[in-house]
Amino acid sequence: MLRPKQTKFRKQRTGRIKGNASKNLTLTQGFYGLRSLESGRITARQIEATRVTITRKIKRRGKLWIKLFPFVPVTSKPVEVRMGKGKGSVDFFAAPIRAGSILYEISGVPKEIAIQALKSGAKKLPVNTRVICRPL
């Protein structure tokens, strides 16, 4: 699974993800892509599950680019622990995304297969997405 090699601080505050994306708005490498329609947090497990689903659908033809990386540590306390006693330990890493940013890109496969692969991969994600194509 994806995770950073090192972070400046072990734990991080939650924060809020608001507004639309200002970077990563257009397809750069691939001809087909998956764009998020809402803001949210995608975990490393969800990124990996989507990658596996898309590569299975395209049957390892073509190329897939993952345009997001989980760098935010998310903490959680164990079950049935009383309040207080500090912040919990790091449970997993997540990637914060804004509405309008591109998550995955594909090239080298026919249009029907690419759209079907991206739609099946989108089912693994917690945010609403849309398949987009590069204008010819």
Instruction: Quote the CA–CA distance of 83 and 98 in Å, as a whole number.
Output: 32
Q: What is the pLDDT along the chain (136 residues), one digit of tens a residue?
A: 899 999 999 999 999 999 999 999 999 999 999 999 999 999 999 999 999 999 999 998 999 999 999 999 999 999 999 999 999 999 999 999 999 999 999 999 999 999 999 999 999 999 999 999 998 7
pTM confidence score? 0.93
Q: What is the pLDDT of residues 44-60, one digit of tens each?
A: 999 999 999 999 999 98
Domains and CATH numbers, the chain: 32-78+86-133 (3.90.1170.10)
Q: What is the pLDDT of residues 10-23, one digit of tens each?
A: 999 999 999 999 99
Instruction: Quote the CA–CA distance of 95 and 1 in Å, as a whole number.
Output: 13
